[in-house]
Structure formats: structure tokens, C-alpha cells
Amino acid sequence: MLRPLTSAEAYLKEAEEFLAKEDTANASEKYYKAAEEAIKILALKNNIKALKEAKEKGGWDLKLLNDAVDELAKIYGDRIITDWSAAVSLITLNLSIEVIKELSTYVIDIVELASTNKEMA
């Protein structure tokens, strides 16, 4: 049975479509958004402190996302920090299509984690 895409998966699909068109700016933005949504999904699944703070503040900011990554690393391991760092690089740097393809593997990793909630390798 098919299930609806998570918000992270939807952004990932859009990113891959933009990358196929060699639209690196939009691909990078969508990959970042996919990772951001994956962090939020994992925060919700694990009911971490950063989620409570985001609710109190009325939303997420970069500090809370980074706090969430730190908390989630205690659950899933340091790989989540690497994945998040790659996503942040995508949005803050003007990268070649080859580098974007390489960094996208880290985003895929975190989106898959959020979608399946398996342990990271």
C-alpha cells in the first residue's frame, strides 16, 4: 500500500527534479528544506527539548534546528550532524552540480531516517 510522502520526501523529490534540470540554486534550496523537515520530523518522533522550545517560540529558527541536531545525535549517532552540515553547506555556498550531487547523498540519508525512523549506519 502506498503512503503519502512526508514533507521531507516531497522537498527531496523537488530537489532531484531541479537537479535533473541543472538548476543548482533551486536544487540546493530544496535539498536544504528536505533536511530541515527531516530534523523537524525526527524532533517530533522523539519529543525532544528543541521541539518544545520551538512550540513555545511559535516556530523554528536556525539555533533551535542546531539544538535539535545535537539532541538527535545522542539518539541516532554523529552521522546526523554530518548530514545536517552537508545540508547547511548546500544553502550557504554556491556549489557546482557535482558537489551538490555528492552532498545530496547526506540529505537523502537524513530524509530516509525521518521517513523510516531506522537507526543510522
Q: What is the pLDDT of residue 3?
A: 58
CATH superfamily of 7-116: Nucleotidyltransferases  domain 2 (1.20.120.330)
Closest CA to 39 of 14, 73, 10: 73
Q: Check whether 121 has a pLDDT greater than 70.
A: no
Query: 13-67, pLDDT tens digit by residue?
Result: 999 999 999 999 999 999 999 999 999 999 999 999 999 999 999 999 999 999 9
Closest CA to 42 of 91, 109, 115, 121: 115
Domain residue ranges in the chain: 7-116
